Structure 1
Amino acid sequence: MGLIERCDELFKTSNLYEVLGTTKQATEADIRRGYYKVSLKIHPDRAPDDALATEKFQVLGKVYAVLSDAEQKAVYDEQGIVDEEIDTLSQDRCWTEYWRALFPTITMQDIIEFEKKYKGTEEERQDVLQIYVRYEGDMDLIMQCVLCGSVDDEPRISSIIQDGIDKKEVDDFPAFTKESARKKKARRKRADEERQEAEEMQKEMGLGDDFESLTKMIKLRQENSEKNVNSFLANLEKKYAKKPGKSKKGKK
């Protein structure tokens, strides 16, 4: 089965750009960030015994390998086909190592420094409004996806959204404007449980006063949360990202 067919089977789309959550007009950086965002949810380290997730991760790596190669991307854009015999796709490659070479570990200090520069900016405001529209005002999903956000940030996030509604920049979705007190309470309870988990990990790992940072890290790594990491990667990409080597064409 070819790459396009496997994408259709595993990701319910035969469009390689859609697999990465991007479009044909995406820049090289957009494609890279799309790969990172989608791969976070299915990375083998999260569920080492999940065969389906591992298969998806491998296919995702191949999709990125094709779209990040200018020559292969041009062929796909013009003809809608993929050369299955290129070395990138045909060789027995470790896609986990490939991923780690592209995205080396980002330290806790990197996250803390980025958060200080990001919060309160127009960039954050636009990101919040975009997520608000994407999830039509569902604060459960919004708070899962806002970058560097915690339960303590919810009043501030809600204020950003309300300001956008008042200025008619976004629609007033009932899920936000008419959210029940019960739902808010349940969200707070989940956040408190997460905080308690962080405290326990803090004690076990002997992290001392680094509790707040650990809480943020747990949130960033939540398995089922889609992260709006575009701004984060854009700021760190030059420092950490490595470009993969050019692939060689095989015989057709």
Structure 2
Amino acid sequence: MGRKKKSRVPSDDGEEEEGLQNENHGKLSEEKSLYELLGVEKTATQQEIKKAYHKLALQLHPDKNPDDEEAKEKFQQLQKVISILGDEEKRALYDQTGCVDDADLAGEVVQNLHEYFRAVYKKVTEADIEEFAANYRGSDSEKNDLFDLYKKCKGNMHRLFCSMICSDPKLDSHRFRDMIDEEIAAGRCI
């Protein structure tokens, strides 16, 4: 792989812009951010990103480098960069996680994702689950879920227990049967 050097690329307005280039059009560095690869700031607008992309694409296009496999590979990687930074949702996800796609989930990226989700979502403990189950049992939510599942499972209690949260056939079968019988006796549709 060729040595990295900064190159100056003339812009449309006559000024020179810095962009990362490798000698002989080497691979885009996986260690650099996508913004650095395009030679733009993280705060760049979509217009600035597209402008930087077009300049690099013109330099690296396979038609301009017909016998250069590295240029072809770098051009393909450039397509991946613009597919992420050119899409607002993908860009926002990249900005939050630093992750490009599932193939990149390794090492530090996994750790970063873990830290991100720990910051966003509280750790669930057994005590939290027990508290939820205690509040859920006998609640209107449980009754609604029971009746919905009873309909979906067409009365098959084995299937119902497989789908019903916070339930145990040994503990809840009589209680559930009583609730269902009550609903049927009251003439409500089950």
Asked if these proteins are the same fold (TM beyond 0.5), I'd say: no
| Structure with more of its chain in helix, by fraction | 1
TM-score range normalised by the length of the shorter chain: 0.3 to 0.5
Highest Rg: 1 or 2?
Answer: 2
| Structure with more of its chain in strand, by fraction | 2
Q: Which has the higher contact order (CA 8 A, sep 6+)?
A: 1
